[in-house]
Amino acid sequence: MSREESALRFEEVSFEYGPNRPILDTVSFSVRRNSKVAIMGQNGAGKTTLFGMMTGINKPESGRVLITHGVSMATAPQVIPRDSLDLTVLQYFEKCFDKKVYDIEPKIDAILDVVHLKAPHDRIIRSFSGGQQARLLLASALIQDPDLLLLDEPTNNLDKAGIEHLTKFLVEYKKTCIVISHDAEFLNAVTDGVLYLDVFTRKVEQYAGNYIAVQKDILARIDRENRKNAQLEKKIQENKDKANFFAQKGGKMRLVAKKMRLEAEEMEEDKVDVRKEDRTIRPFTIPTPTELYGDILTINSFTTLKAHKPVEHKASVALRKNQHLLLKGPNGIGKSTLLEAIATGHAKGSVIAPETVVGYYRQDFSTLNFDHTVSEALFSVMKKPEEQSMRATAAGFLLNAEVMKSKIGNLSEGQKGLVAFAQLVLLKPGLLILDEPTNHINFRHLPVIAKALSAYEGAMVLVSHVPEFVSEIRIDQILDLEKDSK
């Protein structure tokens, strides 16, 4: 591909976070102009780091990252930076540009319309729901009208309507787009190529086609490699057996045996390293206290947002042991606000039974202390800190010894999610409150997580916009904030 045809190129690029955290090893690839490419790989493989190298935030140890002359770039990260949460909508969009943009307010309204979001320009970013913040992230990139659009997990927090709208937009988008996502259905609809970051080899494998095509390609390749290795293994064993036989004969036969052994060694070198598939977290159980009686959570009223104003409604929900509630409603109606109020004991119309241990999974991971190491974060939720139990739980969530020494703030969003689930296992809650627990998580882990949640024997409140995930979980009651508030 000529340089004029490509939007960016990686040439023999290596990168590491210190000597013990290699991410890329002499990686080369190019992205064609006007293509739509997915970056895929296991949690913690370095997908977001790869974006950082494209934008210049991360500098390669060796090799070059080349952006074609004249190609402008904008990125929508996974989450709104913490230092932007207290900005107004106007200030947030002004921050997207290096220079002052005159008459920016009509441009803001136009781009908000593109992402189907209405918002006063003086509203504080922090006050928006997770789904609305996801739309703001996309709008902040689009308002720059870039030649190269980088999207990091853009479907996180979006409801079904939001994902459908984003999909339609990207299908019709005429410029180059590179997207990180664990949403296979979304990727199948919008991408025409895949860059697969292999966490084991630190290489980037480039494929043509969407996720389904890539999976077929990878499986076919694994099958070919396994068959080739099996054939070589058979010949190697035959040579070793013959070498042992001739060696026992003595004399000139020993030379024949030596030749046989050399041939076996050469065949060993010809064996290919079969591509390792991403590991999946181990099946797990979230334990509950032995004594759980009566109503663990009651919801007698709740508040929704309508035209940015709070509206109160009556409800009649009571959750006892082994009962699961699904909280439904579109982006912006107040689901996350209600969950937070319940979890912190500030919901006027809700009551949690005294002494109940509450496990709260927040979609922004703000329940985690970003200055803690992973070990400290896991120990912090244990009544009786016990290292062997803690490390066994961590290993089940692919949190190895190196990760355990890392600060939470330095982890990928997907790894933060795995730490949050490990905390829930060690916490042993009687009430589980989950706000979009699929966000940032590798899709391979989701069936395991769904099975654990379905089997959970305490009271549970779940918010999720992923119907396939919800369908795998036992749900006993549904509270639809939109339908039940009318």
Range of the domain at 464: 297-480
Residues of the chain with pLDDT > 70: what percent? 94
Q: Is 343 part of any domain?
A: yes
Residue that the structure tokens 């008459």 belong to: 103
Residue that the structure tokens 């001739």 belong to: 246
350-352 β-sheet, strand order? 309-319, 297-306, 350-352
Q: Is 88 part of any domain?
A: no
Q: What is the pLDDT of residue 421?
A: 97
pLDDT in tens, 116-149: 888 899 999 998 888 888 889 989 999 998 999 9
174 pLDDT above the threshold of 80: yes
Q: How many domains does the chain have?
A: 1
Nearest partner of 263 among 235, 223, 303, judged by Cα: 235
Q: Is 182 part of any domain?
A: no
Q: Is 129 part of any domain?
A: no
Q: What is the pLDDT of residue 282?
A: 93
Quote the tokens at residue 136.
């703001």
Between the alpha carbon of residue 417 and those of residues 22, 319, 373, 420, the distances in Å are: 22, 26, 14, 5
44 pLDDT above the threshold of 90: no
Mean pLDDT, range 241-260, rounded to an integer? 78
Q: Are 30 and 10 in contact (CB under 8 A)?
A: yes
Q: Is 437 part of any domain?
A: yes
Q: Is 381 part of any domain?
A: yes
Q: Are strands 22-32 and 6-16 parallel, antiparallel or unpaired?
A: antiparallel
Pick the residue with more confidence: 18 or 209? 209
Name the phi and psi angles at 131, rounded to 5.
Answer: -65, -40
Q: What is the pLDDT of residue 391?
A: 93
For helices 104-114 and 130-142, give the axis angle rounded to 10 degrees: 120
Q: What's at 470, amino acid-wise?
A: V
419 pLDDT above the threshold of 70: yes
Mean pLDDT, range 453-481, rounded to an integer? 94
CATH number of 465's domain: 3.40.50.300
Residue 176 and residue 190: Cα distance in Å, rounded?
12
pLDDT in tens, 19-39: 667 889 999 999 999 999 998
Q: What's at 155, amino acid-wise?
A: T
Q: Is 157 part of any domain?
A: no
271 pLDDT above the threshold of 80: no
Q: Is 386 part of any domain?
A: yes
Q: What's at 179, amino acid-wise?
A: V
Q: Are 304 and 227 in contact (CB under 8 A)?
A: no
Mean pLDDT, range 455-467, rounded to an integer? 93
Q: Are 431 and 354 in contact (CB under 8 A)?
A: no
